[in-house]
Structure 1
Amino acid sequence: MTEFLDVSFDGIRRAADIIRYGGIVAFGTETVYGLGGLSTSRQAVSRIYAAKGRPSFNPLISHFASAEQAFQEVDLTLTPLGEKARELASHFWPGPLTLILPKKENSLICDSVSAALPTIAIRVPRGRAVNELLRLVNAPVAAPSANRSGRISPSSALHVKEELDGKIDAILDTGSCIVGLESTVLDLTGETPTLLRPGGLSQEELEAICGPVRHAAPLSQDQKPLAPGQLTSHYAPTLPIRLNTDKANFDEAWLSFGPEIEENHPLKWNLSPKGDLAEAAARLYAGLRYLDNEGQKKGVKAIAVSQIPQEGLGCAIFDRLQRAAAPRPI
């Protein structure tokens, strides 16, 4: 049975106790809902992979209550960008930024979290409830998105319930996620900061602090990801997606952005009628879920998506849509 917990102190404390004793709990952050278990417990991490159906070569992000705790698990002397890591953390933590750094030799985080890589992904999320939860757990918490692997990420407790009810120990309902997109993932193990996944923090914001950021090359079929969210097909609804169109066909659902073009379309979701990219990011996954669920009921063939501006958060939104539209693995 999956427990449903409210965001009272008792609810947060109960969620923390479940995690501390090896259980797995879904909880909201500012980005999306994560499925959390102790990063130090192979059994808990194994349960996360199993509940999601996630391939074991796809590493997880460990979440911490503070930057001080996060940096205890990495060795900043092994990278020329160690000071940049501290500078970025001081500006953007707590917040939607994940850093990839060399794993400390005596780190408590088990190898299955990092998929046996010499690096680990660390983050300090933003939000009163999640910060209190992590403070009470007082240990690294691995928390990928709380959904089946490759599917649409959850931005509310209801989304988690739809996919994982009965498969996990508890869901802590912290309300809707205000950012709505996963964290930005930045690799700091080389000479130049490398963007592995665009997310809730824009490249422009990063570069204002750390200087030029390069983009990682797309993964080849035989390459394993260095961080979550790098797989070509990801964040995908059941229905196929058609991108960059100015009109939906009669047998398609319509995901739009900006002032309405097709006001009378029978199945539509506008990410932001006023053209606000932050609002669009927060509404993206809810919109994809709605159109996917209703579209299957109504027998539509696909989801048509209008053009998204390639700037700021628009880059992260388009990244998710591209991966959602990619050919699905067999």
Structure 2
Amino acid sequence: MSPETRLLAPEAEQIAYAAMMLAQGRLVAMPTETVYGLAADARNGQAVAGIYAAKGRPSFNPLIVHAPDLATAERIGIFDDAARRLAAAFWPGALTLVVPLRGGSGIASIVTAGLDTVAIRVPAHPVAQDLLYAFGGVVAAPSANPSGRISPTTAQHVMDGLGDRLAAIIDAGPCQVGVESTIIGRQGGKHVLLRPGGLPAETIADCLGEPLASPAANADPQRPEAPGMLSSHYAPGAPLRLNAREAESGEFLIGFGDIPGDTSLSASGDLVEAASRLFDALHRADATGRPIAMAPVPDHGLGRAINDRLRRAAAPR
């Protein structure tokens, strides 16, 4: 961590300092219930460009805007009845909605990567809420890690990956959910699951009263509609082998359920526990310098989000 980077406690005076840094166009790592986010003033294009530079993130990959409440979100995006119903049911929480960008919103065009839609969520973490209200605006905040690498669920993960590029990191302990938000958009009049995440897709479909569609097959991979859709993402430095029931020579095995491994996402097969431990387990495995093997995880509920991250982490790069 750079001497200029301040590690802050989740206290009012230090949150006020972080809000002041955001107002000055600086970058601040903030805790959310999903993962730690790298926040910048979403209305300040130069500040947001700093996010892309710090992460090494492709500029065609849009960012999620974090708002303190629905009223603020509606000043940025255009919500139809279904979007309001989802917001009422799941905000604050691990749901991101991709909605049409409202004219005159003031959001810097670099946030949306030139799209006419914007991805918005209202985080549930009390420290994120306190920071947003202290700042008095909205922030663009992707995960606070180098682009394409393992997402951070502790302040130490942030320090290890980006610590010398930030004004401040607010340390509020480990993230409770542990995987990024679920992203829902609209294509062809249907609600589409753009990214599985911390809110199970089945729960969202029940709220809507209709199944979620998959993204259009002809979607341009170099022009994603939402974050987290690139084929290679969330990746450790070491190669990752999926659906392993035992370790091969030299591998670090991450277990699940009745497959114990060197560490386990959940010995009891609890998907909530597994999601909260996923990125930390990948960080710890990667630190060994050994190839990584991952036990099978059921592909339903939060398991769908876990497997999405694992497939992208194991993709060729």
TM range (shorter): over 0.9
Matched, 1:144 2:146: no
Structure 1 distance, partners of 2:260, 2:102, is 54
Q: Which residue of 2 aligns with 1:310?
A: 299
SS at match of 1:99: strand
Matches within 5 A, 1:91-170: 91-170=89-168
1:275 maps to which of 264, 269, 277: 269
Q: What amino acid sits opposite 2:179 in the alignment? A: L
Q: Which residue of 1 aligns with 2:224?
A: 225
Q: Is the 2:187–2:215 Cα contact (8 Å) retained in structure 1?
A: no
Matches within 5 A, 1:34-53: 34-53=37-56
Matched, 1:319 2:317: no
Matched, 1:205 2:190: no
SS at match of 2:305: helix
Structure 1 distance, partners of 2:218, 2:280, is 28
Structure 1 pair 222/123, CA: closer, same or farther in 2 (3 Å)? closer
Q: Which residue of 2 aligns with 1:3?
A: 6
Matched, 1:31 2:20: no
Q: What amino acid sits opposite 2:234 in the alignment? A: Y
Cα offsets for 1:47-91 (capped at 9, x unmatched): 111000001000000001101100111123xxxxx1000000000
Cα offsets for 1:179-233 (capped at 9, x unmatched): 0000000003641100100000011100111122101146766641111000000
Between the two proteins, the alignment pairs up a number of residues equal to: 313
Q: Is the 1:219–1:231 Cα contact (8 Å) retained in structure 2?
A: no
Structure 2 distance, partners of 1:325, 1:144, is 21
Q: Is the 2:254–2:260 Cα contact (8 Å) retained in structure 1?
A: no
SS at match of 1:160: helix
Matched, 1:69 2:72: yes
Structure 1 pair 128/42, CA: closer, same or farther in 2 (3 Å)? same
Displaced runs of 4+ in structure 1, greater than 2 A?
217-223, 259-262
Q: Is the 1:7–1:173 Cα contact (8 Å) retained in structure 2?
A: yes
Task: State the shift of 1:261 in Å.
Answer: 4.6
Give the TM-score, by structure 2 length.
Answer: 0.96
Q: Is the 1:2–1:171 Cα contact (8 Å) retained in structure 2?
A: yes
Matches within 5 A, 1:232-311: 232-261=231-260, 268-294=262-288, 296=289, 300=290, 302-311=291-300
Q: What amino acid sits opposite 2:181 in the alignment? A: S
SS at match of 2:119: strand
The runs of 5 or more residues in structure 1 that have no matched partner are 77-81, 263-267
Structure 1 pair 153/190, CA: closer, same or farther in 2 (3 Å)? same
Q: Is the 2:259–2:295 Cα contact (8 Å) retained in structure 1?
A: no
SS at match of 1:120: strand
Give the TM-score, by structure 1 length.
Answer: 0.92
Q: Is the 1:245–1:306 Cα contact (8 Å) retained in structure 2?
A: yes
Q: Which residue of 1 aligns with 2:59?
A: 56
Structure 1 distance, partners of 2:260, 2:184, is 37
SS at match of 1:188: strand
Q: Is the 1:102–1:189 Cα contact (8 Å) retained in structure 2?
A: no
SS at match of 1:215: coil
SS at match of 2:252: strand
- C-alpha RMSD of matched pairs (Å): 1.3
Structure 1 pair 180/135, CA: closer, same or farther in 2 (3 Å)? same
Task: State the shift of 1:250 in Å.
Answer: 2.3
Q: What amino acid sits opposite 1:185 in the alignment? A: I
The runs of 5 or more residues in structure 2 that have no matched partner are none
